[in-house]
Structure 1
Amino acid sequence: MLGTFVIAYCFYFLFNIYTSFMQVGFVQNAKNLKPVILSDDKYKTAANYTIEKERVAILSTLYDFVIFFLWIKFGLGFLDSIITTQELWLKAIIFVDAFIIINWILGLPFDLYSTFKLNKKYGFSNMTTKLYIMDTLKTGVLFLVFGSIVIAAISFIIQTFPMWWIWGFVFIFAVIILINMLYPVIRDKMFDKFEPLKDKELEEKINNLLNEVGFKSSGVFSVDASKRDNRLNAYFGGLGSTKRVVLFDTLIEKLSHNELLAVLGHELGHFKNGDILKNIGIMGFIMFIFFAIFGNLGDEIFLGLNISNEPYAIITVFLMFSPILSFFLMPLMSLISRHNEYAADEFGSNLQTKEDLVSALLKLANENKSFPLSHPLYIFFYYSHPPLVERFKELGYDVHSDSQSALKDEFNLNV
């Protein structure tokens, strides 16, 4: 069984490297073509950012490959040998926490480079050293407290129930739902500053839009996202009574009222089409399959890793190998997601107008430096959203034609 997982990981590694090189080569060639969607200077800037980001991803993948084999050859056995407590729940907490923290430390150079070098170079990151340290400490405290509680609970379930993987799935699925409910509250209390909209006219328009589609929320808020990043975004956070509309301050600054309403209309399309519930159902089904697989592993895989078939080992193996299983499901998940995005675009354009949505998407692409073209294989595996070129086509506009400048003039796009 271990051999099967290792072979799957090697395929996962090689395919990631291959697609990244294909993407870099594709964008390198595409950036010398006539610009589409983006203005001339931002087209080349977005291409350069995409290339640099992908090259960092290649190095990170190679680095992770080495670390993975160090873990399975030496690391897990060594960690097991130095944690000598006989209390299985306590050993699970110490072992799994240590495994996650060590991986975080080893991956820190790439995170620091992306945050303070790459993203600052392209005008995205406003992160300061102080804010980064504070975010890290807060995240660490949340992980050590609540993560440890979850690990202890799973360890208890493994020890107590013969078919523990069923109850383990139920517990983790409930935890994920709870996290989604509490996410905006946690962000508000510990990380971001949520404020009611100062633009009361915009707030009224948004509330009218929400009422039109029957979306009930606890409020519309602006968040000071610009203290960390200049990219534009908005989201519907929470579930049930915690559900709220959250607009990045950068989005409010850059988009007109009608453009912003078109973006929210797109998100409401996901709500109206039941995509949120569908995604929860799909996620639950996949997670159930994963628990069924990792809940029925034989001793051979643990012997190969030089650890015992105990709760701490089962949890760690799950963390190590579940991303590989997820990888093989990515094309299907991406296909479903892209289909949902097209449907949400249609819904959003009907709530406002196609012109408003195209105008908003064009501004988002320019401000976020999103390169509009990608290698087909890369899109097939990794794109949860269709490329902007394809989204524009579905909205009835041919961005490859010579009429792109006319498109900008038609919608009065100042980009």
Structure 2
Amino acid sequence: MKNWYDNVFQFIKGKDSMLELLTLFYIVYLLIKLYAAFMEIGFVTNARSFKAIILSPANYAKAAAYKIASQKFSIVSTLFDFILFFGWITFGLSTLDATLIMGNEALRSVLLVMSFIAINYALSFPFDLYQTFGLDKKFGFSTIDVKTFILDQIKAALMFVILGGAFFWAMSAIIMAYDYWWFYGFLFAFVVILFINMIYPIVIVPLFNKLTPLEDKNLKSSIEALLQKAGLKSSGVFSLDASKRDNRLNAYFGGLGRSKRVVLFDTLIAKLEKHELLAVLGHELGHFKHNDILKNIASSALMLLLMFALFGNLPEELFDALHVNKSAGSVMILFLMFSPLLSFVLMPLFGLVSRYNEYKADEYGSECESQEALASALVKLADENKSFPLSHPLTIALYFTHPPLTERLKKLGMHFDEGAALAH
């Protein structure tokens, strides 16, 4: 095995075309993310000097400050991710690959992938700490204590070792057994994703949060009537003790098939009036009525198939350039390293479709209650979650799965003084 500095030197000399191409794509991806972040910072910095819209003046200023701080944090973490990426492709992967030597190829592949993930996690852990106990604490979002945080990490690590180990073992067996493993691997991964979505609200969520049947009988009855009207069968309506970790408001329909259940954050129940909450749930039911959930599953499956097809046909040249053996483990690692590039490329298209679906879901939510109720709920959600109502067009195009709040409220018939901020 060459010394790591020899690998770095060879990479810089640029003899490995496939690796050069992927690295170029990664650099373009990095530059676009950084450019978008800087543009967003400039846009929000300018917009916060104008008259507050939608949010209260205090929360408008606080939301702007949080958005700017989050974007600055994103810039630092993005640069760190690139340093990590560069370290892996120049010497990290070859060193890890040479270190793990054993006769059982499936076991070796599992340990290779899990070691790669564990090292990334350990090196990125300070960023997670700052996000939770620094940034989010400073702006009044995070309520988690150290004990709960540590317990969460332990539970997540155990789940990763048990479930992740089983998944990577099965995927390794598929890669080693079939010439067209990428197709069978896609089918297996997709089934696992569906299974996890099915058991998530009944098995995984209770490991971290307490779910209790909704105590408000009146509200529960109204929600059940809403579900019946939409034709959605649910296994129950539950309250989740989200406030022990975070003050943000949220609700979701979790599970698939018979495991479907309505989950309301206790923070949401505490802050929204009944008609507002029903309007929010009506919006979510709009996705069900319009088959958006099935469409999202289908589009996700298509993107996953595309990823498997690409990474299932990587040339030997790439593995030679990285100084690693082409094995089930190294293939899975490259999938984990480079799949975010494809996701980033496809995200604007999926975002465009998603934003259209959100408008249609808003229409259904309005029909369930009223435009006023949904508009009022959206304003409260933004105010409580300190969501800055304005964003740079590039940020919207690249990342937004929901339309800007100002556009949604205008569609709902709400009038407000957009002022110079929106004219900007």
Bucket of the pairwise TM-score, normalised by the shorter protein: over 0.9
Shift of 1:396: 1.9
- Where do residues 95-174 of structure 1 align in structure 2 (5 Å cutoff)? 95-174=112-191
Q: Distance in 2 between matches of 1:400 and 1:168?
A: 53
In 1, the alpha carbon distance for the partners of 2:282 and 2:416 equals 23
Q: Tell me if the contact between 1:93 and 1:152 (Cα under 8 Å) persists in the aligned partners.
A: yes
1:99-126 deviation per Cα after TM superposition (whole angstroms, max 9, x unaligned): 0011011111111001001111111101
The letter for the 2-side match of 1:207 is E
Structure 2 match to 1:266: 283
The aligned counterpart of 1:298 is 315
Aligned position for 2:355: 338
Rounded Cα–Cα distance in structure 2 between residues aligned with 1:56 and 1:401: 29
Amino acid at match of 1:288: L
CA distance in 1 between partners of 2:124 and 2:357 (Å): 33
**1:275 lines up with 2:329 in the alignment:** no
**1:323 is the counterpart of 2:361:** no
Contact 2:286-2:360 within 8 A present in 1 as well: yes
Q: Which residue of 2 aligns with 1:368?
A: 385
User: Is 1:310 matched up with 2:323?
Assistant: no
Q: Is the 8 A contact 2:389 2:405 kept in 1?
A: yes
Aligned match of 1:24: 41
2:282–2:364 Cα contact (<8 Å) kept: yes
Do 2:372 and 2:412's aligned partners in 1 also have CA atoms closer than 8 Å? no
Distance between the aligned counterparts of 1:399 and 1:209, measured in 2? 30
The C-alpha deviation readout for 1:367-387, integer Å capped at 9, x for no partner, is: 000000000011010011111
Q: Is the 8 A contact 2:227 2:233 kept in 1?
A: yes
Unaligned segments of structure 1, at least 5 residues: 403-415
- The amino acid of 2:210's aligned partner reads K
**1:389 touches 1:399 (CA, 8 Å); kept in 2?**
no
Shift of residue 3, structure 1, vs aligned partner: 1.8
Question: 2:294, 2:396 → 1: CA distance?
Answer: 25
What is the letter of the counterpart of residue 313 of structure 1?
S
SS of corresponding position for 2:198: helix
Mapped contact 1:392–1:399 kept (Cα < 8 A): no
2:230 aligned with 1:213, yes or no? yes
1:47 CA displacement:
0.2
In structure 2, C-alpha distance between the alignment counterparts of 1:35 and 1:353, rounded to whole Å = 25
Maintained 8 Å contact 1:92/1:311: yes
Measure the CA separation in 2 of the matches of 1:303 and 1:34: 58
**Aligned residue identity for 1:319:** L
Aligned residues: 402
| 1:382-393 matched pairs, under 5 angstroms | 382-393=399-410
Whole-Å Cα distance in 1 between the matches of residues 325 and 415 of structure 2?
60
Q: What SS does the aligned partner of 2:372 have?
A: helix
1:177 aligns with 2:198: no
- Kindly provide the CA deviation profile for residues 59-91 of structure 1, in whole angstroms up to 9, marking residues without a partner as x: 000111111000000100000111011211101
Deviations 1:282-335 (A, max 9, x none): 000111111111111110011111111110110000000000111111110110
Q: CA separation in 2, counterparts of 1:86 and 1:17?
A: 44
Aligned residue number for residue 21 of structure 2: 4
What is the one-letter code of the residue matched to 2:102? T
Question: Which amino acid in 2 is paired with 1:163?
Answer: Y
Shift of 1:57: 0.4
Task: List alignment gaps of at least 5 residues for structure 2.
Answer: 1-17, 420-424
- Percentage of pairs with the same residue: 52
Q: CA contact under 8 A between 1:373 and 1:389: conserved in structure 2?
A: yes
Which of 74, 97, 104 in structure 2 is aligned with 1:80? 97
Shift of 1:206: 0.4
Encode CA deviations 1:142-165: one digit per residue, 9 max, x unaligned.
Answer: 011010111011110111111111
Q: Secondary structure at the match of 1:221?
A: strand
The aligned amino acid for 2:161 is L
Q: 1:395 aligns with which of 407, 412, 415?
A: 412
Q: What per-residue deviation string (whole Å, max 9, x for no partner) do you get for residues 37-72 of structure 1?
A: 001111000000000011000000011111100000
SS at match of 2:356: helix
Determine helix, strand or coil for the equivalent of 2:263: strand
CA contact (8 A) 2:213 2:238 kept: yes
TM-score when normalising by structure 1: 0.96
Pair 401,297 (structure 1): closer, same or farther in 2 beyond 3 Å? closer
Distance 2:414 2:379 in 1: 12
Find the counterpart in structure 2 of residue 228 from structure 1. Answer: 245
Deviation at 1:401, TM superposition (A): 4.9
Partner of 2:216: 199
Structure 2 distance, partners of 1:358, 1:60, is 35
Q: C-alpha root-mean-square deviation of aligned residues, in Å? A: 0.9
1:94 has 2:111 as partner: yes
**SS of the counterpart of 1:252?**
helix
Tell me how far apart the structure 1 counterparts of residues 388 and 165 of structure 2 sit (CA, whole Å): 40
Q: Which amino acid aligns with 1:190?
A: L
Deviations 1:174-215 (A, max 9, x none): 000001001111234311100011111000010011111111
Equivalent-residue separation in structure 1 for 2:414 and 2:175 (angstroms):
55
